[in-house]
Structure 1
Amino acid sequence: MRAGIVLFSIFLLGWLKPAPTPFEKHVSALSTAKALQATLTVQRGLDAPAEEVVVLEKPNRLRAEGPGWLWVSDGTVFIALDKKANEYSESGPESLKPRMSSPELWALSPFYDKKAWDELPTPQAGAKRTVLGVKTTEYSVRLKDGAQARVMIEDATGLAKGWTYKAGDTEVLVMVRSMKLLDAAPDGTSFSFTPPEGAKKVEEGLSAGTAPVRYAQVRQVLMGACMPCHSRNSRTAGYEFETYEGTLRSVRPGDPDGSLLVRVVSGSRPKMPQGRAPLTAEQVKLLRDWIAAGAKQDS
């Protein structure tokens, strides 16, 4: 008799357990998938929409490409190519998760980092919306860095059909044109990188040493740590570090200690970059040496 009561209680608890929400389905589906392919339309602020193509495969393989950039990871080396400058950098696989947290890829990041999503504040379910012809539920969530995100989850599949990511005065809108969860990356996907003709490799965090620090070295550090939030298009909180002119607005040539750029990346608990590993002591020294020497555009 007692055994029957126990079995009935277990059955009843299972029956009463609430069904997962579309938001929970999205996180679960991506975190358990082996590979993913998505085509996105991304609009930053008032800029024209741009198409981005993303392929992910576990463990730590990625190929993501937009009009002006390319990210490739073969699981051991992460490559970031700036197509406009025709420059690229190499770093370890630890660079993958921070890049996946960028506004244009944010809702795909559970594929590699479910824990970060489990630690988010409880998302607030909002309006029902029709996005690209399918019915979705909108969820709002405030992120640890203060950014506000909204993600539209398809009711039928439990996969994101779009999201917005607002940090400061800039909002990024992403529409998912297609998304497939796969057992392996599509045939023909290359996770290797061949530099374009004439491309220049620039190491992140180059030591200043005794040689003068070049702006190209500074720019590479900023591109790795501050993009895409402080790009020419995003300008989060009004700051932009993609160009020399934009960077110069946050420095006082000859005065590292009086430069905002140095202050926000220094100290035991630096304010920037948010959501990523702090700059190394070598990288901070490189910025200081460049500013101390006059913050010249000599490259």
Structure 2
Amino acid sequence: MLRAVASGLTDVGLQRDHNEDSYAVLSEYDLFIVADGMGGHRAGDVASRMATESIADFFRTTAREDATWPFHFDTSLSEEENRLVAGIRVANRQIFERSLRSRDCAGMGTTVVGALFSRKKNRLYVGHVGDSRAYRIRGGVITQLTRDHSLFNDYIAAMPDLTEEQRAELPRNVITRALGMQDNVVVDLMNDDPQTGDVFLLCSDGLSGMLADEQILEIVESTVDVSEACRLLISRANENGGDDNITVLAIRFQEEEPLVDPLDAPTEPEGIPVYEAELPPASEQVTPTAPNTAPVPPSSPEES
């Protein structure tokens, strides 16, 4: 059975004065989340933090009791997919309602990418909204698992014959879907069956916008330590300019270490144990004497 070993890291970058990214690692649920907020008056960090906290709270609540879905249960999806989508949609509604109530939070929103691992099914479920990405690194190959919800991608889908020069003129970093924009949101889903040694990355565009996929692959394959991989990725993104907040969460899959049954533990070999006696100090040792071998005379009979 595989288990997920995960670590995350976030950095403000070199061009921003505060960090609007958030991430969460809930190892007890094998749940991993990255969010990249946006909005004036520092509301972006509020939105991203609300996203990670709302999804985490939803999972904690549904783990303690029967899941009460606030939305229709989609029978075409697995329970894990329904749970992940519901958590993201709950977060969306809370962010949207907060933006309506608070002038400082008006117009705030956030991207999100979340991954949920089922050990029993050995399957990783990924849901995302916006341009925060999920990657898989397997056998020396990096694969982008998510498709950015961006104006650039919409143009490319509508006009696939554009030349490279025309594509270079298209607007970048304009997202077409985010949490908090409306009272409901469509969550894109995908799933994958992890293999031993696979690394899955969740990241904000502060990483994917500063590093080519080949650079990400090279760094991740340089270490088996997921914490070190996150540190190296953020360091390289800053070396390349650090134009945005940078967040990365790395998940490595490895074999579960088998538990040793006490009844199966090795025991002492049968037989009588042999111990070496400890001699007393020389001053206390007794000098042996030769045995007395002289004949013993017969004793005289007792007088009556």
TM-score class, shorter = under 0.3
TM-score by length of 2: 0.25
Structure (1 or 2) with the greater strand fraction: 1
**TM-score of the superposed pair, with normalisation by structure 1:** 0.25
